[in-house]
A and B are shown apart, each in its own frame.
Chain A
Amino acid sequence: MRTALAIARKELAVAFTTPWAYAVITAMAALSSFFFVSLLEQFQQVQSLAREHGWSRLPPDSIVYRNLTDGVVVQLWGVVLVLTLCVSPFLSMRLFAEEKRQKTFALLLTTPVRPVDIVLGKYLGGLGLIFVTLGLTLVFPVLLSVVGSGPSGSALEWPTVLLGYGAVLLWGATCMAVGLFISALTESQMLAAFLTFTVLLPWMLLRGVAQSTAEPLRSFLSYLSFDTQLQGMIQGMLEAQALVFFASVILFSLLLTHRAVEAQRYA
């Protein structure tokens, strides 16, 4: 494990000394800021309409804007999930592919480091990177809790907010695991990023496909959909099945990565 942590530290050090990571982190921050401000303006508009005409006169969909957590934070987490899907392939693509391109990967394999340490080290490094990227989004609920107010004092339902944030991190960890495996298969970073996105996007949207199928396929596809598993969590409901599902995807991706790294010894 110590070796794995050393590799993770090295990965993080490399990432935070290259402009690439900062470009991705900035893009993530800028996009989520943009959506945060839009949601906030929308929330204010609907609240002002409600003060004028009453909630009963507004369309039924407006009810979500009665509460700051539902109206802004839950929706913001929904946007951040989609942004993570777009950003994470760019953070995971270089983990193995860059080493392969620079021919340092073969060197790494000749050192007395076990493949499992390499995989874990790379994954933990990638995890650190995505957690820092997503960590910045926590600024927005903190800002809201400063300016908003509710009858019980707190403007936000913090258990819901934090569970939603946990869902965002879990999703980031999953994207990283899938991206790590694909990065281990190729030496082209762009190909790795593109393939990761191509795998994650339909997987995320599987719920839409499930809706047009009949039981029991519907339940099966719906269960496999990342979107289905994440929706409950961002709204404040923790389910054991979601935790098991994401842990399974991460573990299986790491296993496949391990086998792909091991295969390099036999190539």
Chain B
Amino acid sequence: MRANHVTRVLGAFGLLLLLSSPFTLFLTSGSVALAGGKAVLGAAMVAAYIVTHRRELGRAGTRRTGRFLASSVLTTLAVLGVLVALNVVAFRENQRWDLTQARIFSLAPQTVQTLAGLKEKAHALALIPPTHPSYGELEELFRRYHEAAPEVFDYAFVDPRREPSLAAQYQLKDGQTLVVISRGEGDAAPHTTLPLPAEQELTNALLQLGATGAQKVYFVEGHGEWPLEPPPGGDGLSELRRQLQREGYRPEPLNLLGRKEVPRDAGLVIIAGAKQDYTAPEVAALRTYLGEGGRLLYFTDANTEDGLGLFLADYGVQVDDGVAADPRFNSGNPFVLVSNFYGKHAITRPLQERGFNVQLPTARSLTLIREGFLLPGVTVEPVLLSSPYAWVESRPLEDTTPSSGEKMGQLTLVAAASRDTRAAEHKRFDEARLVAVGESELLLDPNWRYEANRNLVMNALGWASHQVEKITLRPPDRETSTLELSEDQMRTLRFVSTDLFPLSLLGVGLAVWLSRRNR
């Protein structure tokens, strides 16, 4: 084989290597080194061809074919450029027309309204691997939101395996997925997290983020409650405060001493483990607050007195003395209760769905009063219970077994009460809400990382503080249509479709062919 034949083959191979290197990089191996190696080798082979055939190429360049080739390449590139630009514009400014009867590919009017009402930019970050089966569906959902409100809603996808720091930030375990919806700009922007949301959940998350922004959460102080800012070496609630800020709430301390009422801008009041008695005017302020439709989260501890017994009894809650103990459902110590016994309440539904066990060390149990003491219109429900084997140990330092006279059976550990306050004077909200928890230490910084407990607190907070009712969207679907064919009808249809129809076409073809053949 002559040398110029060899270089011609080399040139052809070189061109192949050069053109296929992007496929190596993006589609097949993904190795930059391999793709680069192919490109360099290909370029060298093409260069060898050009050098050995330069005279031929030079001659070609001077001929008409050379000019044609150049003009063809230029025209093709110019048209390609225009078409690419057009497609980029079409992709960015895409218009859709949903021609289905039930508008199954369109956002619900409530969603469009919510997006139109967004005051700050919302951002969705999906931590999901690209191979996840729900990736496409989620992307489509986000695209619809973005197209409906390009100025206020944008989204991004991140593979948690490639961004382990981000996965760690949201405590994402291997194989788990998460969608973070944030409001505003920057790392400190308030956010909420959802596992693979559908339209209803996503819209509700946007509503929630919009609503919480205006809400102040007051932490009552002055009675030995856990402080928002812990003293050096002491315990406090700085993790809870940070979480509240991330979700858009504004946590602030509140001292009720000398005040006649809880500030009007309170979205929620939290009493986190008081150890000294509240004064009568303070109790009166709290009573007025709930009477006007306020929202209160009350956390207590074993061996404490806070003077709020009668106030809580108004709402059907009585805190038992002693410590709740359970010989079977514990973490090795009968006073450290582990429970997955949930009441039928919105607070614990997500915990139940995710199969969480809540852990409460040295908790006090609650007795629910459904008649007598409580105010008219109050309903009180158990939220979290112990197992049926529990008892209230009145002398925990001396005894770890049930004794006579001690309350036994399934104990209420968390309770939620509500009361219709639509008719109240100076009404704050239509309904007063109170959540009582027999353990305050679960709020402390060292305990905040325990996911199930954190979920319990944040769900209780969400239930108590929500001013916005969640919207319910019916998933759109096409209307039902029926087809009832008898066996005879089906047989006829099968014969016409698969037999008569193609045979007729073949017959026409045969007739045409034969008539032309005989002509």
A interface residue numbers (CB < 8 A to B): 16-19, 21-23, 25-26, 29-30, 33-34, 36-37, 40-41, 43-44, 47, 63, 66-70, 136, 139-140, 143-144, 147-152, 155-157, 159-160, 163, 209, 211-215, 217-218, 221, 223, 232, 235-241, 244-245, 248, 251-252, 255-256, 259, 262-263, 266
Contacts and interface: CB of A to CB of B under 8 A. Distances in A.
Given A67-B479, A259-B75, 10 more contacts: A34-B498, A66-B477, A66-B480, A69-B478, A136-B505, A150-B479, A150-B481, A237-B96, A241-B94, A259-B76
Interface string B64-98: 11001000100110011001001100110111111
B79 A67 contact: no
Contacts of B91: 223, 241
Interface in B466-519: 477-485, 489-490, 493-494, 497-498, 501-502, 505-506, 508-510, 512-513, 516
Interface string B44-72: 00000000000000000000110010001
B159 interface: yes
A266 B131 CA distance: 50
B68 A70 contact: no
Interface stretch (B99-107, B198-206, B381-389, B427-435): B99-107
Interface residues of B, number: 59
10 closest residue pairs by CB, A with B: A22-B509, A150-B481, A30-B502, A244-B90, A67-B478, A236-B100, A159-B99, A33-B497, A19-B513, A241-B90
B170 interface: no
Given A149-B481, A241-B87, A22 B512 contact: yes
A244 B93 CA distance: 12
Nearest to A218: B130
Contacts of A237: 96-100, 105
B135 interface: yes
A56 to B, nearest CB: 14
A155 B497 contact: no
Given A16-B512, A147-B489, A241-B94, A22 B482 contact: no
B222 to A, nearest CB: 52
Contacts of B505: 22, 25-26, 29, 136
Contact of A266 (B65, B80, B481): B65
16 contacts: A19-B510, A30-B501, A37-B497, A47-B482, A67-B477, A67-B479, A140-B497, A148-B483, A211-B135, A237-B96, A237-B98, A241-B87, A241-B91, A244-B90, A248-B87, A252-B80
A235 B159 contact: no
Contact of B481 (A25, A69, A256): A69
A155 B481 contact: yes
A238 B95 CA distance: 8
A83 to B, nearest CB: 13
Contacts of A263: 68, 72
Contacts of B105: 232, 235-237
Contacts of A136: 501, 505
B1 interface: no
A259 B74 CA distance: 11
B224 interface: no
Contacts of B87: 223, 241, 244-245, 248
A252 B79 CA distance: 8
Contacts of B485: 40, 44, 147
B162 interface: yes
A17 B512 contact: yes
A237 to B, nearest CB: 4
B85 to A, nearest CB: 10
B480 A147 contact: no
B27 interface: yes
Contact of A41 (B157, B484, B490): B490
Contacts of B509: 19, 21-23, 25-26
A160 B480 CA distance: 15
Contacts of A139: 501
Contacts of B350: none
A22 B503 CA distance: 11
Nearest to A50: B480
B26 interface: yes
Contact of A212 (B101, B130, B479, B513): B130
